[in-house]
Structure 1
Amino acid sequence: MAADPLAEIVTLLQPAARFSKLVECAGTWRIEREGTGEPFYCAILEGCCRVTFADHPPFMLEAGDFVLAPAMCDLVNESLDAPADLPAMLPTRLGEGHFRLGRLDGPTDLKMRIGHCSFGSPDAALLVSLLPDVVIVRREPRLGTLIQLVAEETREGRPARELVLERLLEVLLIEALRSGTQATATSGLSRGLADERLAAALSAIHARPAHAWTVADLAKEAALSRSAFFARFSRIVGLPPMEYLLAWRMALAKQLLRSREMGMDEVAERVGYGSASTFSVAFARHAGMPPARYARRSLQGELADTDRQ
């Protein structure tokens, strides 16, 4: 059975929209935002600007460009003519989800759609670590359509709004990650999937997580020697092969435990363990608590969320 690691990880992240806004800019301006660690995206509708994430080199965005940060770090966004000593500004609110920066009258030089999201997965930090720090997509019309749909759905309180937003964001993230022409990460899942040899091994892991994989088995999938595969996988994906396999199995196990649709023996079998006891030991070592306690805590958290609503 074929597997799509990127789609599986984005789905498991459980993306949800927090808010989306239209920002117009004119004249000379600069905004600074502290890193939130949450997903952030920006689409340039008109004009151009300069963006800098944390210690990464600055880059220019033009109309039709899109930038995604799966875990937003410190950000500076400014006009191309902004001097180094220009102080940061606060946007002026013009209306619901509509803001302006720089000169408040006259025509605008830049329009951009900014979105902030969140990931519901308890393993979001682990899963995000497998993605690039920043992805830049140049002139991809499909992303513009998706962003417009997200913006419309965010504003309107139609039935099934949260479900529709989750699915739209999943597609938006996947489209950005597979279309990105530039990325600032030196390692990660998307780089592994771009490597034809490693993509075969990653797809095999995701297609059969319960299989008793060894490094030698995965090296055969990648058509590489054991040592060459181990070094290449570790360098490009950022984790040794067996650590990646364990991380993915545990992420799946947590999803299955939260769903409460099967017993412990079946969960253990689904993620590659011969018995519930060996699975429990491995899970406790990874998660810091036995799987039964994790399932109870997940249920208590859901009930508490329901009571607050």
Structure 2
Amino acid sequence: MPTDPLAEIVTLLQPAARLSKLVECAGAWRIHREATGEPFYCAILEGSCRVTFAKHQTLTLQAGDFVLAPAMRDLVNESINATADLPAMAPIKINEGHFRIGPPDGPVRLRMRIGHCSFGAPDAALLVSLLPEVVLVHDKPRLAILMQLIDEETRDRRAACELVMERLIEVLLIEALRSSTQAAAAPGLARGLADERLSGALRAMHARPHHPWTVVGLAGESALSRSAFFARFNRIVGVSPMEYLLTWRMALAKQLLRDGGLTIEDVAERVGYGSASTFTVAFARRVGIPPARYARMTPSKIEA
């Protein structure tokens, strides 16, 4: 089957649902959420609001919008009429999975479904670096439906619910990432895969990480000149072609080392290094420890 880079990365991240809730808002309100580094997502069901990431990236969200931050930074979520001096508030719990913010007797101006999940992969930060910092999707009702299904599974806790939630989260992330492919989307893998020229090079890197790729060779996969390919890749994916390749090779190497059963020489060959020594140097420079030591560590001690 053809290699699907987006599915590979989301699967390797091992996403799991952690929290899902419905929030109703009235009057003027503001919520401040501190950076957790974990995925945060939100679907606007009714009304509109503003969200500001890390004090500088502000988005106005309308009903039907979905926003995803693969690694949540500080954010401020507020009503459109919120003044600069309005203090941050804490949502009040109405019942399980249902919260309200603002005057208790005021009309509801905004309804949104908010979710948090976690990535089980020890090298999640490495993989998340291949994704855009913020994903905004317009008019995709199925994302809100997926969030509702995740919320129901979280509350009902039926048989095999962990497995079901894991699959739902994977579908949610993939759907969000592949839906945000318009020209104005943030640079990242999904936008690169939507580019008719770059998708060939990206799929080739994922299908054959062991190949001795060069910028010239990857440009050939995209039917572009070296300079045109390099500039286009940087602009659309957000990193250079060789930096992307190195990141992907290291993510694969970490997975192979964790799985065990392969020698350092075998791992080196599978991720495109001609010898164990050159792989060891590259791995240690990127990860901070030699691959042999990384392979001996227990999963709970492995850090991205």
- The answer to whether TM tops 0.5 is yes
CA contact (8 A) 2:135 2:186 kept: no
Unaligned runs of 5+ in 2: none
Alignment of 1:178-197 (within 5 A): 178-180=178-180, 187-197=187-197
SS at match of 2:255: helix
% same residue: 73
CA contact (8 A) 1:133 1:184 kept: no
Structure 2 CA distance for aligned equivalents of residues 76 and 110 of structure 1: 16
Structure 2 CA distance for aligned equivalents of residues 164 and 260 of structure 1: 28
Q: How far apart are residue 185 of structure 1 and its match?
A: 6.8
CA contact (8 A) 2:36 2:73 kept: yes
- 2:145 maps to what in 1? 145
Indicate how the Cα distance of structure 1 residues 164 and 259 shifts in structure 2: closer, same or farther if over 3 A, else same: farther
- 1:305 maps to what in 2? none
Q: How far apart are residue 48 of structure 1 and its match?
A: 2.1
Alignment of 1:153-192 (within 5 A): 153-180=153-180, 187-192=187-192
CA contact (8 A) 2:53 2:74 kept: yes
- 2:268 maps to what in 1? 268
Structure 2 CA distance for aligned equivalents of residues 221 and 57 of structure 1: 35
Alignment of 1:123-272 (within 5 A): 123-180=123-180, 187-272=187-272
Q: How far apart are residue 234 of structure 1 and its match?
A: 2.7
- 2:28 maps to what in 1? 28
Bigger drift between 258-267 and 109-118 goes to 258-267
- 1:69 maps to what in 2? 69
Structure 2 CA distance for aligned equivalents of residues 260 and 26 of structure 1: 54
Indicate how the Cα distance of structure 1 residues 201 and 278 shifts in structure 2: closer, same or farther if over 3 A, else same: same
Q: Per-residue CA shift, 1:261-294, capped at 9, x if unaligned?
A: 4343332222123443443333223222221210
- 2:103 maps to what in 1? 103
Q: Per-residue CA shift, 1:68-94, capped at 9, x if unaligned?
A: 111212222222222222222111111
CA contact (8 A) 1:284 1:290 kept: yes
What TM-score do the two structures reach when normalised by structure 2? 0.90
Indicate how the Cα distance of structure 1 residues 262 and 153 shifts in structure 2: closer, same or farther if over 3 A, else same: farther
Q: Per-residue CA shift, 1:1-31, capped at 9, x if unaligned?
A: 5211111111112212221111111122111
SS at match of 2:153: helix
SS at match of 1:110: strand
Q: How far apart are residue 118 of structure 1 and its match?
A: 1.6
Bigger drift between 155-164 and 2-11 goes to 155-164
SS at match of 1:86: coil
Structure 1 CA distance for aligned equivalents of residues 185 and 46 of structure 2: 27
Indicate how the Cα distance of structure 1 residues 294 and 281 shifts in structure 2: closer, same or farther if over 3 A, else same: same
- 2:41 maps to what in 1? 41
CA contact (8 A) 1:23 1:98 kept: yes
Q: How far apart are residue 181 of structure 1 and its match?
A: 6.1
Unaligned runs of 5+ in 1: 303-309
Structure 1 CA distance for aligned equivalents of residues 160 and 266 of structure 2: 32
CA contact (8 A) 1:56 1:184 kept: no
What TM-score do the two structures reach when normalised by structure 1? 0.89
Indicate how the Cα distance of structure 1 residues 53 and 281 shifts in structure 2: closer, same or farther if over 3 A, else same: closer
CA contact (8 A) 1:134 1:184 kept: no
State the AA in 2 paired with 1:153. E
Q: How far apart are residue 116 of structure 1 and its match?
A: 1.0
CA contact (8 A) 1:17 1:118 kept: yes
Structure 1 CA distance for aligned equivalents of residues 265 and 11 of structure 2: 25
Q: How far apart are residue 178 of structure 1 and its match?
A: 1.0
Structure 1 CA distance for aligned equivalents of residues 115 and 171 of structure 2: 15
- 1:120 maps to what in 2? 120
Structure 2 CA distance for aligned equivalents of residues 84 and 285 of structure 1: 45
SS at match of 2:157: coil
CA contact (8 A) 1:136 1:181 kept: no
Bigger drift between 260-269 and 26-35 goes to 260-269
RMSD: 2.2
